[in-house]
Amino acid sequence: MALDTECIRADFPTLRRHVSDRPLVYLDSAATSLKPLAVLDAERDFYENRNSAVHRGAHTLAAEATELFESARDHIARFIGAEPNEVVWVPGATGALNLLAYSFSNASAGMGGDEAHRFRLGPGDEIVVTEQEHHANLIPWQELAGRTGASLRYIPVDDDGRLQMDEATALIGERVKVLAFTHVSNVLGSVTPVAELVALARAVGALVVLDACQSAPHLPLDVKALDVDFAVLSGHKMLGPLGIGVLYGRADLLNAMPPFLTGGSMITSVTMESAEFLPSPARFEAGTQPVAQAISLAAAAHYLDGLGMARVHERDAELGQMLVRGLTEIPGIRVLGPAAGEDRVGLASFAVDGVHPHDVGQFLDDLGIAVRVGHHCAQPLHRRLGLPASTRASTYVYTTDDEVQAFIDGVSEVRGYFRV
């Protein structure tokens, strides 16, 4: 059965808004998704009835909070095909990627003992990313290379934004220690050939880091089946709250990594001279935890499970094709990424000849249509495609066909309005 979009929309109070005296058309879900009542209620219920720090204290509220907190971890683990001790709560995907980079840096400085040897980098070692990465999956690796003396290299894209896999084969050699890439491009909407890249990394013993921020909300995600070593995702892009994300890591790797943040809740014993650390996930969760956010993120995963991620993906792909077909038919529009008929999620970035993306966004906002404008934290990719910025429309489970058509109609009026 197809998703019942109208029924779903009743769960999202933001969609009752009007902007510029018009019903809101929200096409900025790739930046942050709207939140259903189930997620809002889960967070509110915690604060109203069970507010307490977790893993501390023997009183009833503390016990209830801890049970809900760890149950949330169990649910997210099932949602991505992992084990609970392989799920680390982080402030967001950016925090997760920085955690990895700084942990590898600590290992490279000699911390972690013999177990951390495989994370150590130095001159002669290489880190490989792609030219389509979000800055969050680029800058931490730039910094790691700078701290350790390793080299950072990247897999280029062609004029249409496709990864040049022949270049990937040539780049990923014996010196590569880390291969980090996005599952779905936040600019192009394209799905990366994960299996091919993982095979190249496995052949040389490199660690694989997957940015799943744009795939976890839209595709069935199984990190074990994908055979990646680490994966990161953002809660707020998959109907969850702001301020929380997930780092997945193979248990043997997480337990061998030196911690990044240190303090309370992540130790077994402390003297005035030294400390010993708990196994994963606690060793990476120092301090007060985002309990309400974890619980409401689990509510978001439960909501998506109820819809069925296979059906979410089917609907998402359908909306993506509607976006591309409609935009392609408008004169003076350049759509970035896969053409109509090729695999993509419900996301389309585009450029309007003679009109700055910010003007496009303002024009659409006057019609009540919310889109994203700018370089989408992917300046190198835009530079490669010969653009300073683009306009991006992105859909989700609450998007209707009529909303996509209203967007297409609005874009078709842009060049005439600006007399281009």
Residues 6+ apart with CB under 8 A from 332: 352, 353, 354, 415, 420
Cα 70 versus chain centre, distance = 22
Angle between helices 291-307 and 60-80 (to 10 degrees): 40
Q: What are phi and psi of 335, to 5 degrees?
A: -90, 130
Residue 364, CB-side half-sphere exposure with 13 Å CA sphere: 31
Distance CA 129, CA 174 (A): 15
Instruction: Give 14's DSSP letter.
Output: G
Is-catalytic flag, 377? Answer: yes
Catalytic choice (19, 63, 204, 377): 377
Residue 156, both tokens: 């280029």
Sign (positive or negative) of CA dihedral 219, 225, 226, 230: positive
Phi, psi of 224 (to 5 degrees): -70, -45
Q: Give the length of the chain.
A: 420
Rounded CA-CA distance 52/64 in Å is 9
Which among 207, 163, 166, 204 has a CA at the least distance from the CA of 182? Answer: 163
Measure the CA–CA gap between 382 and 395, rounded to whole angstroms. Answer: 21
CA dihedral 75, 215, 391, 242 (to 10 degrees): 20
Q: Which residues belong to the active site?
A: 377
